[in-house]
A and B are shown apart, each in its own frame.
Chain A
Amino acid sequence: MRDVITGNEAVAWGAARARAQVVPAYPITPQTTIIEGIADLIKKGELKAEYIPVESEHSAMAACIGAAYAGARAFTATSSQGLLLMHELLHWAALARVPIVMAEVNRAVAPGWTIWTDQNDSLAQRDTGWIQLYCQDAQEVFDTTVQAFRIAEEVDLPVMIVLDAFVLSHTAEPVDVPDAADVDRFLPPRKPKFVLDVDNPCAFGGLNGPDVYQEFRFNQQASMTAALEAARRSDNDWAKMFGRRYGLIEEYRTEGADTILVASATPASTAQDVVDKLRAKGKKVGLVRVRLFRPFPAVELRKALAGAKRVAVLDRNISPGHHGIFCEELKSALYGMPKAPEVRGFIGGLGGRDLTPDSIEEVFDRAMGPKKEEEIAWIGHKA
């Protein structure tokens, strides 16, 4: 099926094609049309799933964990306050090693009440042990939703698919939704490695002393590392079957670039136009989009940025008291690299403020300019 659908509808179709079996969900703008979409696909017979209208996001994630331990494929979606409410259980899901997939529509955090996009909600979950993939268009959202289950079930870790509020969640684009039978060949039914089983009664998550806990973290970290390969493989297999490939990071016109912009999510697609414009003027600029944020694709980034003199990082988020989060992650990934490019961090687009081609061009200009920027350079800021 090829249709013009929104990013959120693409998530719903992704969950349907992945044959999610249990969907506990609680509404929050801008995620709502995902769960409405899933309810509609269940009604239409496109998806056979237990839909649980839970009374909070906290319960949504708890029910996902219970369902996953009962052997089912569990899916949910949320945003912002809902994601923050889940925080305890995000850690729980990742340490319980359940392959839950969740769509998270980036929305800035209150107060004041806002529904517009920025990344502080999802990035605040950086250390919960979830794999995180940031998407830039509706087709990628669909493809990544299905890919996410493959990755999750291969490494026994939960996966968060992240998409920007409205700019992506509510913007309609042509999307190819492959037939269920074709997706089934990419993603066979879940074969859980451990389940609640009355014929083999086990306890899960019991008392841990200092003698054993660290090894659970070690194993989790090993699986996170394995997730890099799992994500690559999932993407390659998807490309073989459906002709679309994204990579862990995506390079755009980086050949011979002196200055490379590192961005994520939809601003990265806007930045492609800006790169084209500047290239046409003879400026040696390029773009790297970070698609996989956890595990962090440090090797890929070092390779992609090796030839550049300067890297500008555009962060639609801030770690108050420090810097943009992608910027700091990138700096640590490049640390110790011979002839490492200079990294300059830019923060903008918070609370959904538009990141226009002009504002992204400003990032390039300032990054290439002679003047050393202050430690944090703000974009589109009202003085």
Chain B
Amino acid sequence: MDRPQGVKYVPAIAEPTQAKFERVPKEEILGHGHLACPGCGAALSMRLALKALGRRVMIAGPACCWAVCDGPWPYSATGVPFLHCAFETAASTACGIRAGLAARGIDDITVMTWAGDGGTFDIGLQALSGAAERNDDFLYVCYDNEAYMNTGVQRSSATPELAWTTTTPPGAMPKLQPKKNMGEIVCAHRAPYFATATVAYPEDLIAKFERAGRTRGFRMIHILSPCPPGWKSEERLGISLARRAVESRVFPLYEVEGGTKWRLTQDPPKRPVAEYLKDQGRFAHLTAAQVRQIQGHVDAEWDVLKGRLETGDRR
């Protein structure tokens, strides 16, 4: 293993979050007939998340692919109560649902958002920050396909640097900015729980949802969600790409308690970033130099993350 020397796991997290595959609940809550594309990471994430959380869940879902995936009125595939809400209001709507339940003395429901990266990193960030600062009691889930897919693949601030989107055509208007670091933003609010997850590690994902379900206050799970049409990748490669994103450290899997206790939950052997980029049409235009540039940034970000793990506390 090429785990860097000196990484120490922060003992404050008493039981490391891990689930055994045999423990994955058999019950399927996400129904048949959802409208997600073949190979959609969001649909698989929803399926696994609901397995972990069970049926006592209410969802606030803003404009994003999932607003379509759930199905046309009067049908709903999600399998738990689902309140569609305006694009930028996932967090504020969830906060209202929680308050409404509290006013009625109902305390055994997991209130959850299911928002895209656009609704989270961009237009909904203010409401998210407000809810995190107030420590509103719900689970904010962002399934991150790294662009505005519902409107046809425009850039978001979660789009990786130099990736193709319709509004960042390579050459003419490349996306020069690196992906916004949502974990650091949320952890700066000292939120009780933040975790990254992805569909290539279902036990890890389920365990994080279980943990988030048990935690009270503001919790967030950020899911890297492969999107064949938006990534210009083969449908069958979604899981593989998600795995390579973790192995290449483009999308490390970690969890953070209270905004300060950072811990890696998966630490597979390192692979070059090029192996992650290569099967995605959105990166097909990259030159060798650009791939090296991305590798450099990924390595630097990994060092920053390592720093968090080492100290366990940035204050």
Asked whether A272 is an interface residue with its Cβ less than 8 Å from the other chain, the reply is no
- CB contacts under 8 Å to A, within B123-155, are 126-127, 129-130, 133-134, 136
Q: Closest CB-CB distance, A73 to chain B, in whole Å?
A: 8
Query: How many chain-A residues does the 8 Å CB contact rule pick out?
Result: 42
Instruction: Report yes or no: B100 in contact with A72, Cβ–Cβ below 8 A.
Output: yes
Query: Interface code B77-108, partner A: CB below 8 Å = 1, 0 otherwise?
Result: 01111111110110111111111111110100
Instruction: Report yes or no: A50 in contact with B89, Cβ–Cβ below 8 A.
Output: no
Q: Closest CB-CB distance, B127 to chain A, in whole Å?
A: 5
Q: B136: which A residues are within 8 A, CB to CB?
A: 52
A281 vs B56: C-alpha distance when bound (angstroms): 72
A198 vs B108: C-alpha distance when bound (angstroms): 11
Query: Interface code B59-91, partner A: CB below 8 Å = 1, 0 otherwise?
Result: 010000001101111111011111111101101
CB-CB nearest in chain B for A196: B81
- CB contacts under 8 Å to B, within A233-273, are none
- Report if A206-B73 is in contact (Cβ < 8 Å); known contacts: A65-B85, A67-B96: yes
> Of A55, A196, A205, A209, which one neighbours B58 at CB under 8 angstroms?
A196
Asked whether A207 is an interface residue with its Cβ less than 8 Å from the other chain, the reply is yes
Q: B57: which A residues are within 8 A, CB to CB?
A: 198
A72 vs B134: C-alpha distance when bound (angstroms): 20
Query: How many chain-B residues does the 8 Å CB contact rule pick out?
Result: 48
Instruction: Report yes or no: A70 in contact with B104, Cβ–Cβ below 8 A.
Output: yes
Asked whether A304 is an interface residue with its Cβ less than 8 Å from the other chain, the reply is no
A202 vs B71: C-alpha distance when bound (angstroms): 11
Q: B127: which A residues are within 8 A, CB to CB?
A: 55-56, 58-59, 62
Asked whether A111 is an interface residue with its Cβ less than 8 Å from the other chain, the reply is no
Q: Closest CB-CB distance, A194 to chain B, in whole Å?
A: 10
Q: B78: which A residues are within 8 A, CB to CB?
A: 201, 203
Instruction: Report yes or no: A65 in contact with B81, Cβ–Cβ below 8 A.
Output: no
A66 vs B136: C-alpha distance when bound (angstroms): 13
Asked whether A345 is an interface residue with its Cβ less than 8 Å from the other chain, the reply is no
Instruction: Report yes or no: B76 in contact with A50, Cβ–Cβ below 8 A.
Output: no
Q: Closest CB-CB distance, A217 to chain B, in whole Å?
A: 14
CB-CB nearest in chain B for A63: B96
Asked whether B109 is an interface residue with its Cβ less than 8 Å from the other chain, the reply is yes
A63 vs B91: C-alpha distance when bound (angstroms): 9
Instruction: Report yes or no: A207 in contact with B82, Cβ–Cβ below 8 A.
Output: no
Q: A59: which B residues are within 8 A, CB to CB?
A: 89, 91-92, 95, 126-127, 130
Asked whether B55 is an interface residue with its Cβ less than 8 Å from the other chain, the reply is yes
Instruction: Report yes or no: B100 in contact with A74, Cβ–Cβ below 8 A.
Output: yes
> Of B79, B86, B103, B134, which one neighbours A67 at CB under 8 angstroms?
B103
> Of A55, A63, A197, A203, which one neighbours B84 at CB under 8 angstroms?
A203
Q: A71: which B residues are within 8 A, CB to CB?
A: 100-101, 104
Q: Closest CB-CB distance, B149 to chain A, in whole Å?
A: 16
> Of A66, A73, A201, A206, which one neighbours B97 at CB under 8 angstroms?
A66
- Report if A54-B95 is in contact (Cβ < 8 Å); known contacts: A66-B60, A206-B76, A207-B68: yes
Instruction: Report yes or no: A208 in contact with B72, Cβ–Cβ below 8 A.
Output: yes
CB-CB nearest in chain B for A26: B130
Asked whether A109 is an interface residue with its Cβ less than 8 Å from the other chain, the reply is no
Instruction: Report yes or no: A207 in contact with B72, Cβ–Cβ below 8 A.
Output: yes
> Of B73, B97, B106, B109, which one neighbours A212 at CB under 8 angstroms?
B73
Instruction: Report yes or no: B100 in contact with A69, Cβ–Cβ below 8 A.
Output: yes
Asked whether A314 is an interface residue with its Cβ less than 8 Å from the other chain, the reply is no
- CB contacts under 8 Å to B, within A78-132, are 88-89, 92
> Of A49, A66, A203, which one neighbours B95 at CB under 8 angstroms?
A66
A-B contacts at CB below 8 angstroms, number: 169
Instruction: Report yes or no: A56 in contact with B80, Cβ–Cβ below 8 A.
Output: no
Instruction: Report yes or no: A63 in contact with B101, Cβ–Cβ below 8 A.
Output: no
Asked whether A159 is an interface residue with its Cβ less than 8 Å from the other chain, the reply is no
Q: B56: which A residues are within 8 A, CB to CB?
A: 198
A64 vs B99: C-alpha distance when bound (angstroms): 9
A293 vs B82: C-alpha distance when bound (angstroms): 34
Q: B82: which A residues are within 8 A, CB to CB?
A: 201-204, 206
Instruction: Report yes or no: A56 in contact with B130, Cβ–Cβ below 8 A.
Output: yes
Instruction: Report yes or no: A53 in contact with B134, Cβ–Cβ below 8 A.
Output: yes
Instruction: Report yes or no: A205 in contact with B85, Cβ–Cβ below 8 A.
Output: yes
CB-CB nearest in chain A for B87: A88
A64 vs B72: C-alpha distance when bound (angstroms): 25
Instruction: Report yes or no: A55 in contact with B129, Cβ–Cβ below 8 A.
Output: yes
Asked whether A227 is an interface residue with its Cβ less than 8 Å from the other chain, the reply is no
> Of A21, A52, A198, which one neighbours B81 at CB under 8 angstroms?
A198
- Report if A62-B68 is in contact (Cβ < 8 Å); known contacts: A54-B130, A201-B81: no
Asked whether A22 is an interface residue with its Cβ less than 8 Å from the other chain, the reply is yes
Instruction: Report yes or no: B58 in contact with A207, Cβ–Cβ below 8 A.
Output: no
A56 vs B73: C-alpha distance when bound (angstroms): 30
- CB contacts under 8 Å to A, within B18-51, are none
7 further contact pairs, Cβ within 8 A, besides A24-B92, A70-B58? A21-B103, A63-B99, A64-B96, A71-B104, A74-B96, A198-B58, A204-B84
Interface residues, chain A, CB within 8 Å of chain B?
21-22, 24, 49-50, 52-56, 58-60, 62-74, 88-89, 92, 196-198, 201-209, 212
Q: List 27 A-B contacts (CB under 8 A).
A: A24-B96, A54-B130, A62-B89, A62-B92, A66-B83, A66-B85, A66-B97, A66-B98, A67-B99, A67-B103, A69-B100, A70-B58, A70-B99, A196-B97, A198-B56, A198-B80, A198-B81, A201-B55, A201-B78, A201-B81, A203-B73, A203-B75, A203-B76, A203-B83, A204-B84, A206-B84, A207-B70
What 3 pairs across the A-B complex have the smallest Cβ distances?
Answer: A66-B96, A70-B100, A55-B130
